[in-house]
Amino acid sequence: MNKTVILLITIILIAGCQNTLNTAKRIPVAEVGKVVLFYDEIPALIKLGIIESDSAAIIQSYINKWAKRELLLQKAEANLSLELRGEIAQQLIETRANLVIYQYQRQMMLEKMDTTLSETEIENYYTSHEKSFILNSNIVKALFIKLPVETPYLNKIKLLARSNDQNDLQELETYCYQFAEKFDDFYEEWVPLERLFVELQKDIEDETNFLKRTTWFETSDSLNVYLISIRDYRLSSTIAPFEYVRNDIKRIIWNTKRFQFIQSLENGIYNDALKENSFKIY
C-alpha cells in the first residue's frame, strides 16, 4: 500500500474519531500557496467508499482536481490585467446584488403574494383574450390503439372503439389492458393530431381534409394494427378551446401577478425611503 493511500486512510480514521468526539478541529489535506483544503470541505459523497482503499483513491482524485483548479486560478489571478480584474470585480458585485434581490423577492412572494386563481378568473381571461389563443396545429379528441396483428377478438375491439356508449368504452378498456401495446384515451383531452401518427411513422398530406371526412381510421403493418377513433377536432388557425389553453392562461395570470407584486414591492421600498429621507437625489 503506497504512502498516499496510507495517509488518506489515516485522515479518514482520524476524522471519524474526531466526529465521534464532537471536536471542531479541522484537518488539512492539501495546500496550494496560502490556500488550504480541509477534510471537512471534501463533499460527503466523495468520502463514502465501499472499503477504505476505495475511499482513499476517490479522495486522492478529488484532491488532485482541486489542486489543478486552484493552481490555475492562482496563475490566472497573477497574470490578468488590471482592466480585466476590474471587470470581474464589477461582475461579482452585480451577480451578488442580483442573487440577493432575487432571493428577497422570492421570500416576499412566498410570504405575502396571493397565488390563488379562481376558475372564474381563468375563464374571464380566456373570454377577454380568446383571439390571442390561435391554434398553430390541428388538435383532436380521440382514441389511439396499437394491437398485435394476432390479437384475439380484434373485430369486437374495433366495434367497441367506434362506439360512444360508456359501457362499451369500459369493455374496450378491459380488452386493451389485456392485449394492446398502446392504448391512449384522449376523448376528454385535446392533443395535436400529429401525436397520434407518431407511432405509425406516417404523415397525412392534407390534415384538414382528413379531419373533415374522418371519424375512424385503421391501418396495419406486418406486426401491428393501428386504430384511431376521432370524437372532435379543431383546425389550425382557429381559436383554441378553453381546456387546451387553460394551463397557459394560469401561467400568464400568475406571471402578471408576480410582475405586479414585484413592482409594488420595489415602489413601496422606494416610497418609504423617500419618506424617511434615506434616499436623496443630488
Domain boundaries, the chain: 3-79, 122-134+245-282, 138-234
Mean pLDDT along residues 102-108: 96
Q: β-pairing, 224-234 with 139-148?
A: antiparallel
Q: What's the mean pLDDT in 124-140?
A: 96
Please write down the HEC assignment for all residues of 57-91: HHHHHHHHHHHHHHHHHHHHHHHCCHHHHHHHHHH
Q: Is the pLDDT of residue 112 over 90?
A: yes
pLDDT over 90, % of the chain: 71
In the predicted model, is pLDDT for residue 6 greater than 70?
Answer: no
pTM of the model: 0.71
Q: What are phi and psi of 146, to 5 degrees?
A: -120, 120
Mean pLDDT for the chain? 88
Number of residues that make up the chain: 282
Cα separation values, 210 from 56, 138, 205, 258, Å: 66, 11, 9, 43
Closest CA to 182 of 193, 191, 192, 195: 195
Cβ pair 88, 73 in contact under 8 A = no
